[in-house]
Every structure is written in structure tokens, then in C-alpha cells.
Amino acid sequence: MTAAAAPRTNAWQRLLGWLGALPAKTADVLPVRVGGTEYRRTTATPARVLGFDQALCWVVVLLLAFSVVMVYSASIAMPDNPRFGKIAPTHFLVRHVLAIGVGFVGALIAFQISMNTWERMAPWLFVASIVLLIAVLIPHVGTVVNGARRWLSLGIMNFQPSELAKFAVLVYASDYMVRKMEVKERFFRAVLPMAAAVAVVGALLLAEPDMGAFMVIAVIAMGILFLGGVNARMFFLIAFILVMAFAAMVWFSDWRRERIFAYLDPWSEKHALGKGYQLSHALIAIGRGEIFGVGLGGSVEKLHWLPEAHTDFLLAVIGEEFGLVGVLTLIVAFLWMTRRIMHIGRQAIALDRVFSGLVAQGVAIWIGFQAFINMGVNLGALPTKGLTLPLMSFGGSAILMNLVAIAVVLRVDYENKLLMRGGRA
């Protein structure tokens, strides 16, 4: 550029900045991966503010606020059920709000931790999750609910180590892929150690039993392996092995096999009052809602017909009270949130922050896949599986770890914006 052209360019930039087409300073430059390890420099709209993704934060807050309303609505009749003893009508509401409060504190702490620190902590976090998964199986240590030993009593709330395991595996797998980048074409050196780690977690979860959590963890690990660049043949081989393993678990387990048969025909005389009871009443609830629902508080199925209406089947109550419009709104919200988190992860990878990018994309896989499974179960598209709706269903451990995971994503976005503004993450 000639000396005469430079002042003209600066003048145009000042004029465009004054008109709002560009900021007062020149546009920030974002490196974008174009193949392999090569990058090109492209102009990108700078961050509006130096901070976290406010749109994502507000969507999470709105989902949590809506969850408070719906958990209260779904659990309002619980005091009339002898199974729960003498509890106040606001029992589950207060516990849910308390869990959200604890989750916000955990999220604030998680946001203060840099991604470099999370990377260093990854192996130790994974070991801690293994220790807790073992502890929950020890008699008189783990709490048994409905025949499953999945909780540790902490006084003010019960903690479910499987929720921590989801986050721990996510962070560990991201760290593992960064460390094994140079050998990702070799199966035994790149994939087998990670597969063994997931298998250990899976064995402990199946002992509880909690096959749903194991499925989510397996999908998270597989997703991160794929996004980390593992050879396609390795990926499809592992996927095939996992599918066969889950099929064998179902085939050799009478009660899991019965769930599949109940899913295929929930209205039969054999299943309607057995394994298909929850599914059939969830479908009745959603059917009653039609397009616009029967109105907030008007659900009939939550009056002791639909079990676990405030946890696994909260979406069915939403469908009954807010209809198709309410269900579609939630689906769009989760799709938008998953896409937004994926975008933050891609942006981090474009800035050559591979660990941060894989963590963010792993959180997107976790929330997106678990929401998909829960919604599919409620809508009768998938067999019944004990997975909650992220950020919505009653459950202190799930709310806590969901908020911590979202906070880590916001931290990734915060560090991305620091780098794009010329700072240091």
C-alpha cells in the first residue's frame, strides 16, 4: 500500500465506524482453520462486550426459571401420596430452588478457573469421579432409592457421582486427545487407553445400575474422539463395538429386554400396568395437551397417574399444560443452545485452543444428546430410560453439574474474546 493510500483507508475506516458498520478501531482478526494445521486470517465482528456469551447465559436463566414453575406444578400433588409421607406442598420446589442456588455458586467458582487449570486438573478429576463411583457401591455409604444405589448423602442434598463422572470423562477425554494428537492414527496407542477408562466407568455405573448415564458418557467420549480427529475406521469400529455391547446388555437382562417390548406395545394388557405404564401415561398427557395445552396447573396426569412427573417425565407435564407449542419451544431452545455451544467450541479450535474447543463441544454433545433422549422417551420415540431433562428436571446433582458445565463453556468464550481483543487467556 502506498503512503497516499494509507490515509484514505484510515479515513474510510473512521467513516464506517461513525456510521456503525465498523467499530471505532479496526475489526478484530480471527484465525480460521482451513485444513490441516494451516490458518488464514479473516476479519470477524468483534465481541460486543469483553465477557461471557450473554445470550447463552439468558437462555439458561430462562430455562431454569421455567423449570422452577414446572417442578412446582408437577409436584403440587405429592403431599397426598403416602409414599412421600407428610411433606409440604412446596417441598420439591424448595429443594429445586436450593439446588439451583448451589449450582450457581458452583458455576461462579468454575468460571473463575482458567482452561489451563482445567487441563491440568483433568486426570485428577477423573480419578476423583472413579473414587466416588466406588464409594457409592459401599454398603452404608451409598444411598439406595428404588433398588438403585446411585447417591451419596451430603445432608442438605444427595449427590449423584454419575453426574460428576459425565463432566470428568468429558474433560479427561479432551485432555487425552490433545496429548495423543501425534498418535491418533494408531489404534492401540491412541484409542485403547481411553476405551479402557470409559469401560471402567461403565462397569461401575452398571453395578449401580445406571445404564442411562453410561450411554451418555459413552456418547460424550465417542464425540470427542471424533471431533479430535481420530481415524474414521477406528471411530466406526469403536461405534460398532459399543452398539453391540449395549445390545448384549439389553438381551441378557430380563428387565431391560422387557422395557424394549413394553416400548414396542405400551397399550397391551401385559405392559399397560407394568413396564409400559409410565410411557402410556406420558403419551396420554401429551395427547391431552393438543396444540395449546390445558393451561398451567391443569394437568391431570400429574395427580398420581404419571410416576416421576417432576423428574424424568417433566416434559410430559409441560406438553399437557402448554401443548405442542410449549414442547416445540423447548426443543428450539435446546437446539439453539447446543448450536451456540458448538460454535463457541469451533471458535476456540480456530484460535488454536484445542482443549478448550473440545471441552465446549463435549458439553454441547452432553446436553444435546441427553435432552434428545429425554424428549424421545417422553414422546414415545425411544424406550424408557432414566435420564433427566438438562436444566429442567428436579435433581440437585444434575442441576449442579449442568450449571458447572455451562460455566466452563462461558469461560471458554470469555478467553476466546480476550484473545480476539489481543489479550491473554
Q: Report d(CA 294, CA 92) in Å as an integer.
A: 23
Map grid coordinates 492401540 to a residue: 188
pTM: predicted TM-score of the whole model, two decimal places? 0.84
End-to-end CA distance of the chain: 33
Q: Which CA distances in Å does 402 have to 213, 304, 364, 408?
A: 14, 28, 11, 10
Q: Report d(CA 342, CA 339) in Å as an integer.
A: 5
For every one of its 425 residues, what pLDDT tens digit does the chain have, with 9 covering 90 and above? 444 444 444 544 444 344 433 433 433 444 433 334 343 444 444 444 456 688 999 999 999 999 999 999 999 888 887 777 778 889 899 999 999 999 999 999 999 999 999 999 999 999 999 999 999 988 888 777 776 788 888 777 788 999 999 999 999 999 988 887 665 556 666 677 888 888 899 999 988 888 889 999 999 998 998 888 777 777 788 788 888 888 888 888 777 788 887 888 888 777 777 788 888 889 999 999 999 999 998 999 998 888 888 889 999 999 999 999 999 999 999 999 999 999 999 999 999 999 999 999 999 999 999 999 999 999 988 888 878 999 999 988 999 999 999 999 999 999 999 988 876 65
Q: Any idea what the Cα angle at residue 398 is, between residues 195 and 137, rounded to 5°?
A: 60
DSSP string, 36-101: TTEEEEEE-PPPSSSSS-HHHHHHHHHHHHHHHHHHHHHHTTGGG-GGG-S--TTHHHHHHHHHHH
Closest by Cα among 239, 222, 234 to 185: 234
* Cβ count within 10 A of residue 296: 13
